[in-house]
Amino acid sequence: MGWSFARLSRELTKAGRDIPALGLGRIETGQRRVDVDDLTALAVVFEVSPVSLLMPRTEADHPDDFVQLTGTDTMPGTRAWSWLIGAYPLGGSVLSFYNHALPSWERNALEENLGAKRSGKLD
């Protein structure tokens, strides 16, 4: 966004998360970790979803470039994105993933949709 660390620090303070300019510099250089509260505040200030801050960058024309997420092997960017947004597991049972990864209202909507498809109620 072209903001200075001082400007970003002020915006984060307005959002309820104080991170001094020095701390932001340390985040950028990897000397300071970002916790969940930092992540959500940064997403609010940048007007993006927190998941978009978690996704490693790929080239715009190469969504299948390999990316690395902490704790995983490298994988195509599209696969990482599908996992980050809760659309598909990295491995294991798809049904178990949906059962544990999705909020109850999403899981219920998925079950209703699948039930309606199975019974022929949907096109």
The predicted-structure confidence for 4-18, as pLDDT tens digits, reads as follows: 999 999 999 999 999
Read off the pTM: 0.81
Inter-axis angle of helices 21-29 and 5-14, nearest 10: 110
* Interval 58-103: pLDDT, tens: 877 788 899 999 999 999 999 999 999 999 999 999 989 988 999 9
* Interval 24-65: pLDDT, tens: 999 999 999 999 999 999 999 999 999 999 999 887 778 889
Q: Where are the beta strands (DSSP E) in 1-123?
A: 66-67, 75-76
Q: Are 77 and 68 in contact (CB under 8 A)?
A: no
